[in-house]
Amino acid sequence: MLLIASVGAQQSSVAGFLVGAVSASVLWFSLLAWGGAALAPWLSRPLAWRAIDGTIGVMMAAIALQLASGTGLGPGLKELSAVTENSSE
């Protein structure tokens, strides 16, 4: 809430920002409720949850491999170990 207030205070039209923020919030929660109701029959099946859990697992493994190899965001294990070795000398 603090972020919305601080961004809103910087706008030239605070009332316009307020109307936009409120309408976006109403739209988001309405679509979330509608989507939940529409997907309820599909999400009640165990196969759907296995697919969701499998997708999440693949994504977590990909992120872990990227971080470990150093090709992801930030330093990898090789760079971290080199920094640790250099700082102990």
In the DSSP assignment, the letter for residue 75 is -
What amino acid is encoded at 3 in this protein?
L
Considering the domain architecture, whether residues 24 and 10 belong to the same structural domain is answered as yes
Domain of 36, in residue numbers: 1-44
What would the pLDDT profile of 6-65 be if each residue is shown by its tens digit?
887 888 888 888 899 899 999 999 999 999 999 999 999 999 999 999 999 999 999 898
What does the pLDDT read at residue 11? 84
Same domain, 40 and 5: yes
Q: Please determine, for residue 82, whether its predicted confidence score (pLDDT) is greater than 70.
A: no
Among residues 55, 79, 56, the alpha carbon closest in space to that of 67 is found at 79
- Cβ atoms of 7 and 24 within 8 Å: the answer is no
More confident residue, 84 or 29: 29
Task: Pick the last residue of a domain from 11, 27, 44.
Answer: 44
Using the 8-state DSSP alphabet, how is residue 26 labeled? H
Residue 74 has pLDDT above 70, yes or no: no
Using the Cα atoms of residue 4, residue 10, residue 11 and residue 13 in order, give the sign of their dihedral: positive
Co-location of 5 and 31 in the same domain: yes
Whether residues 37 and 62 fall in one domain: no
Single-letter code of the amino acid located at 17: F
Query: Do 22 and 50 share a domain, yes or no?
Result: no
